[in-house]
Structure 1
Amino acid sequence: MKGCIVLMLWLFSAGVMAEGICPNWSPIRAGQEIAQLTTQLRHWDDAYYRQGLNPVSDADYDSLSQRLQQWQHCFTPDQSAYAAQPTTDGSTHHPVAHTGVRKLRDKRAVMEWMQGKADLWVQPKVDGVAITLVYRQGHLASMLSRGDGWRGEEWRAKASLIPAIPQQIATTQDEVVLQGELFLQMTDHQQAQDGGKNARAQVAGAMMRRDDTPLLAQLGVFIWAWPDGPVALSERLAQLSRWGFGLTARWSERVNNEDEVASWRDRWFQGKLPFVTDGIVIHQSPVRRGRDWQPGQGEWSAAWKYQPAEVSSEVRSVAFNIGRTGKIAVVLNLIPVQLDDKTVRRVNIGSLRRWRELDVIAGDQVTLALAGQGIPRVERVIWRVAQRDYPDAPQSDDFNQLSCLTFSPPCRAQFLSRLSWLSEKSVLDISGIQRSTWQRLLDSGTISHLFSWLALTPEQIAQVAGISPARAQQIWHRFNQTRQQPLRRWVMALGLPIPRAALQAMPDSQWQQLQLRSVESWQQLPGIGGTLAQRIVTMLHDHQVQQLITFLQQQAIPAGASVIGMRVVENRQAEAETQRQQASEKAEQ
């Protein structure tokens, strides 16, 4: 339950705060942001505790609670950190307080927690609503909601409508106090496949409603604590089964080490269960009597939750990446978070239009999930800062397949992408020349257009900061090797949108042959239709493209012009001239 959020998440929050990640805000703005988020959390608390509603997922709520604690630590460290304040009408004291359980991060943490402990059992962490059952002289006298751990709301009237709860038990004890979980009964639920099913919210809603609901008959109960029961957990399980709480024994397994815990955790995650779970809990016999239990001090139990399908992070900045064809992709730089086995530091959210639809900027909180092939994606924006300072975004109309063939400051991103493309094995195959090398050359001012690096000498390259003379000689050698690449590779380097199949089928070996091709001629090649053919011809006649082709010709690229190739050019030129003269004569007639 959210009532113990600060205690349960303190270790994680402290770790975040230790990193020193504080927003660069003025005191006035910090006060506004903290007040706005505090108000929202209070609203959610009221909906959850008073109305039985769950308008936000537990994961999103927890994430925003942590964020608020971080802000408070940064700007108001002398004030008490935010803590959920249940606004239920519950005023009945629990005979034994709910302690909560410690959260363990991973298998190593499980191993460390288990050291020195004996008689340990593992159970599924049933995802439902925590309660206290009180039996006096064997009769059910009270069923209390967890509330704040000390006091809860009396639900005794609804207990009689839940068949899974025994109304009486065979015991000679004056009072028996049990703690457990009300859950929505499932049939063959597979956590790995089915997820949470919103089960907890359904149970909370059914219990909070003033009227009765048929859902009560579908609830089950899982007892996970008998504060003053037998010392040996095996005896507790046997007695609970005799009283009608058989699920506890059925879903409890003795464990001796972290490997066995991990095995059961994975088995229950993949297997078929009668309830929704969100992890496992390891139990040892309590070392204190029930009267001494306090919230946050249940050191005899620890939970290892399943890796969530979604995690949340704060946006540090918004970046705009411009690809070699002029396509703009918006990337969110994030405070690093762990998602499955990946550390996510940035996420691509797509186009400018998508970014504007999401309305996300630095300081906002986003929820992430893994898409196909393990690629992180933004699921939703769960919080937006009050002050909306939008970064300057590039204009999509300024960039296309013909833009940034020469360098200028506004063209830096696309131009660098074009240079990096040249190194690809399928293009010019300039091995050992990474994006960082192109960036050094670009920053030095030695590259002015897409192919100007061909004219550099080893001495000029060695003048670039961070490049030694030996490395400069290697770079020059790699550059020089590209001169042997065939025409189709240079066509790809230029960025002409010709399909690979067409490039392979294209017999042309010199630039003149390429430039003389008509729209109809291009359509004879595989994969090229009328629209694409027209675009290729238009690009070949573009002034910048023609200048680059002229430069390459001056550099004798591609190398090794054949006599056959030259004759083909001459024949096409003669044919073109004949067609021009015939058209002229026809016009005169």
Structure 2
Amino acid sequence: MKRIFIIFLALITLTFPALSAVCPAWTPMRAHKEISSLQQQLRQWDDAYYRQGLNSVTDADYDSLQYRLTQWQQCFKGPDYQPQLPSSGATLHPVAHTGIKKLRDKLAVAYWMRNHNDLWVQPKVDGVAVSLVYRHGKLVSLISRGDGLRGEEWLMKAASIPAIPLNIDSEQDEVILQGELFLKMSGHQQDSAGGKNARAQVAGAMMSKQSSPLLNDIGIFIWGWPDGPADMADRLHQLTQWGFTLAGEWSKSVRNEDDVADWRERWFRSPLPFVTDGVVVHQSSRPAGKNWLPGEGDWAVAWKYQPPEVSSEVLSVDFSIGRTGKIAVVLNLQSVQLDDKTVRRVNIGSLRSWRERDVIAGDQVIISLAGQGIPRLERVIWRVAERNYPQPPDAASFTPLSCYQPTPDCQKQFLARLSWLSQKSVLDIPGVQRSTWLRLMKIPDVTHLFAWLTLTSDQIAATGISSERAQQIWRSFNLTRQQPLRRWISALGIPVPRKALDALTDNSWDTLLQRDREAWQRLPGIGAVLAQRIVFMLQDTGLRSLIAFLQQQSIPATSSVFGVGIIENRQAESKTQRQ
């Protein structure tokens, strides 16, 4: 079974390079507490899985936590965790199951293939590994993989699985086969349907003390004949003659890693009769079965599919504050790869959502990509025993009318306001981004939202920006003076819809401030509630002081001479840049 593979540290480091990540900053006492807690949970899951045939957690989540536990044990010099195998697994495999090393990518496959020849690729069927033992053509044993050396005897279940021949046309004293019991599918497409929890269903049916109707829907894929013919083609032909037809149908000769990649991609997107989680590359030649040992099979490797979701550890919890005062919770993660993206942060929404999800630093989470490749938190799979919650900001302190000044508590919302107003759709300040504003906020004269209008190019350059770039920023700041009133309304954060702004005929702040609720409602897209909200905001003393500052600066500019000069300068700069 898949879970047993995790006992091999070599496989762990191949599959999960993140194990080399920084160790948690825990005291020895805390480390002992956290490791013991996770070990106890894994043992409970093992007991349910191996003794009762119950899958209390997905295999992917189990594996993620097992790998994380191994990392912690390496960090704090503890003994490796071993799955709690059933004591009834007393049947000795005549040939050990070696397990299979998992390679990370196409390059790793290429390196492995350089030292091997006569290679074949098969789908990595996602099921339950077994040994089949035939003596003089009769099935005498069906053994679960167990720990690779011993497993459970399932012979009584074989008669209820039509896909397993009870007799084969062979006079050999003994034929030992290794394969995968799987749940039969009709046109299963791995890229869209995923794993379907198929392996767990098979494991449950096989380990249940009761007869299950699911046995009739179980197939067998033979991927190993330890002491069969030396040539792979001969092995496949004989297996087909005995009724094990799938291996012959789904084994393809390959010459290089490109061939493997082509079949891997094709099988990932094509209808198949089983669930798969990658491909396996076999070398035709292999040692005699008596020499096989768990963890030591170098004649076959797996290249698994990129999972649609991955696990990561939460490193810290940040609270971001938007320009309107809304607080969002962001998890900083141990970096993970999803498709072509490296994910280090995930936004999980409001403070309420964070409290409901109950996630803090040290917790293990599952991340996927939502629409447009945006990271999304799927679930928390493990919470550290010691719960040290960070103190969130006071939500009541932040509103659409707060933080027009960069006070210590207002740094985040103030920065969000600046980032907003420099957008092309607002004041259109090209090249001035969040990082630029962070520099400018260090200038003592930046005391309110529009204080940058009074900065000199020398003040801008003093923040570490080059003189040439500082001149460009200074000119861009001054060009904003020519922006129409509706853009400055947006810059202030007043929630006037775009349609209403386009229909607005006011060209001065005084006219705007004279509007009452009814006047605002006459504009498209503004109802009674929004109109009242706009009137309320325009009465705020902080916002009024900003408007007064803009009026002192003659913004929006009305001088045609000033406007023409600014426009001519912009056109000249644009022409110079093109040249």
Give TM-score, length-normalised by structure 2.
0.94
Instruction: Indicate the SS of the match to 1:189.
Output: coil
The answer to whether the Cα contact below 8 Å between 2:14 and 2:101 also exists between their aligned partners in 1 is no
Letter in 1 for 2:24: P
Partner of 2:130: 131
Take 1:133 and 1:429, find their aligned partners in 2: how far apart are those partners? Answer: 72
Question: Which residue does the alignment assign to 2:504?
Answer: 506
Cα 1:18–1:196 shift into 2, 3 Å: closer
Q: Which amino acid aligns with 1:504?
A: D
What is the identity, as a one-letter code, of the residue corresponding to 1:68?
A: L
Q: Which residue of 2 aligns with 1:559?
A: 557
Is 2:221 the partner of 1:222? yes
- Contact 1:13 1:66 (C-alpha < 8 Å) held by counterparts: no
Aligned to 1:24: 25
Q: CA deviation at 1:14?
A: 7.6
Using the alignment, how far apart are the partners of 2:398 and 2:135 within structure 1? 77
Question: Is the CA contact (8 Å cut-off) linking 1:407 and 1:449 kept in structure 2?
Answer: yes
**Contact 2:124–2:278 under 8 Å retained in 1:** yes
Q: Give the corresponding residue for 1:10.
A: 12
Question: Alpha-carbon deviation of 1:115?
Answer: 1.3
Q: How does 1:199-348 map to 2 (within 5 A)?
A: 199-348=198-347
Asked if the contact 1:318/1:362 (under 8 Å) is kept, the reply is yes
2:54 is aligned to 53
Percent of aligned positions that are identical: 63
Residue identity in the other structure for 2:150: R
Q: Is the 8 A contact 1:110 1:304 kept in 2?
A: yes
CA shift for structure 1 position 529: 0.8
Query: Any residues of structure 2 matched to 1:166-185 within 5 Å, and which?
Result: 166-185=165-184
SS at 1:272 equivalent: coil
> How many residues get paired?
558
Correspondence for 2:66: 65
Contact preservation (8 Å) 2:368, 2:378: yes
The aligned residue for residue 438 of structure 1 is 437
Q: Deviations over 1:337-383 (max 9, x none)?
A: 01122111000001111000000000000001111122111111000
The alpha-carbon distance between structure 1 residues 341 and 14, as it changes in their structure 2 partners (threshold 3 A), is closer
In the alignment, the residues of structure 2 paired with residue 181 and residue 479 of structure 1 have an alpha-carbon distance, to the nearest angstrom, of: 68
AA in 1 matched with 2:248: A
Structure whose CA Rg is larger: 1
Could you tell me how far apart the structure 2 residues matched to 1:378 and 1:412 are? 27
SS of 1:275's partner is: coil
Whether the 8 Å contact between 2:316 and 2:360 is mirrored in structure 1 is yes
Hey, what's the Cα distance between the residues in 2 that align with 1:54 and 1:307?
23
SS of alignment partner, residue 160 of structure 2: coil
Separation in 1, partners of 2:413, 2:51: 55
Q: 1:169 Cα shift?
A: 0.8
Moved more, 366-375 or 410-419: 366-375
Aligned to 2:358: 359
Q: Relative to 1, partners in 2 of residues 1:373 and 1:16: Cα closer, same or farther, differing over 3 Å?
A: closer
Distance apart, 1:269 and its partner CA: 1.2
For 2:291, the aligned partner's letter is D
Q: Does 1:484 align with 2:482?
A: yes
Kindly provide the amino acid, as one letter, of the partner of residue 547 in structure 2.
I
Answer whether contact 1:510 1:561 (CA < 8 A) is retained: no
CA–CA distance in structure 2, aligned partners of residues 430 and 281 of structure 1: 54
Aligned to 1:154: 153
For structure 2, list consecutive stretches of 5 or more residues without a partner in the other structure. 561-579
Q: Does 1:112 align with 2:111?
A: yes
2: CA distance, partners of 1:37 / 1:384: 9
Match of 2:516 among 518, 525, 536: 518
Paired with 1:116 and 1:469, the residues of 2 have a C-alpha distance of 58
Which ranges in structure 1 are unaligned for 5 or more consecutive residues?
Answer: 563-589
Please give the residue correspondences for 1:183-194 in structure 2 after superposition, counting only pairs within 5 Å.
Answer: 183-194=182-193
- The answer as to whether partners of 1:97 and 1:293 remain within 8 angstroms in 2 is yes
The Cα shift of 1:472 comes to 3.0
Q: Which runs of structure 2 are paired with 1:456-471 in the superposition (5 Å)? A: 456-464=455-463, 466-471=464-469
Distance in 2, matches of 1:353 and 1:121, equals 53
Alignment partners' CA distance in 1, 2:255 and 2:460 = 64
2:13 is matched by which residue type in structure 1?
L
> What is the rounded CA distance, in whole Å, between the counterparts of 2:238 and 2:266 in structure 1?
26
Q: Indicate if the aligned counterparts of 2:15 and 2:104 stay in contact, CA closer than 8 A.
A: no
Residue in 1 that maps onto 2:535: 537
In the TM superposition, residue 516 of structure 1 has moved relative to its aligned partner by: 0.8
Q: Deviation of residue 561 (structure 1)?
A: 6.2
Partner of 2:34: 33
Amino acid across the alignment from 1:475: I
Cα distance in 1 for partners of 2:248, 2:364 equals 42
Where 1:273 maps in the other structure, the secondary structure is coil
What secondary structure sits across from 2:441 in the alignment?
Answer: helix
Report the equivalent of 2:563. Answer: none
- Name the SS for the 1:476 alignment partner: helix
* C-alpha separation in 1, matches of 2:263 and 2:460: 60
Q: Give the whole-Å Cα distance in 2 for the aligned partners of 1:12 and 1:380.
A: 25
Native 8 Å contact 1:3 1:85 kept in 2:
no
CA distance in 2, matches of 1:406, 1:303: 58
Q: Which amino acid aligns with 1:522?
A: W
How big is each residue's C-alpha offset from its partner over 1:540-586, in whole Å with a ceiling of 9 and x where there is no partner?
Answer: 11111111111000001000169xxxxxxxxxxxxxxxxxxxxxxxx
Look up the match of 1:42: 43
Counterpart residue number, 1:565: none
Counterparts of 2:495 and 2:37 in 1: how far apart (Å)?
Answer: 51
* Post-superposition CA distance 1:424-461 (Å, at most 9, x none): 01111111211112111212333111011112223333
* 2:14/2:103 contact within 8 Å kept: no
**RMSD in angstroms over aligned alpha carbons?**
1.4
C-alpha distance in structure 2 between counterparts of 1:265 and 1:468, whole Å? 51
Cα pair 2:314 2:331 within 8 Å, conserved:
yes
Deviation of residue 16 (structure 1)? 3.1
Is contact 1:227-1:286 (8 Å) kept?
Answer: no
d(CA) in 1 for partners of 2:462, 2:274: 68
Q: 1:372 to 1:469 in 2, by over 3 A?
A: closer
Helix, strand or coil at the partner of 1:318: strand
Provide, for residues 46-73 of structure 1, a one-character-per-residue CA deviation record: whole Å limited to 9, x for no partner: 1111111111111111111111111111
Determine helix, strand or coil for the equivalent of 2:361. coil
Deviation sequence 1:183-239 (CA, Å, 0-9, x none): 111111111121111111111011111121111111111100000001111000000
Would you identify which runs of 4 or more consecutive aligned residues in structure 1 move more than 2 Å? 12-19, 443-446, 457-464, 467-475
Contact 1:138 1:173 in 2 (8 A): yes
Give the Å deviation of 1:84: 1.9
Matched AA of 2:470: A
Residue aligned with 1:410, SS: helix
Residues 66-104 of structure 1: per-residue CA shift (max 9 Å, x gap): 11111111112xx43223231251101100000111101
Aligned equivalents of 1:13, 1:174: Cα separation in 2: 39
Partner of 2:380, secondary structure, is strand
2:51 aligned partner, one-letter code: R
Inter-partner Cα distance in structure 1 for 2:398 and 2:284 = 67
Tell whether the 8 Å contact from 2:15 to 2:103 is kept in structure 1 after alignment: no
Matching residue of 1:389: 388
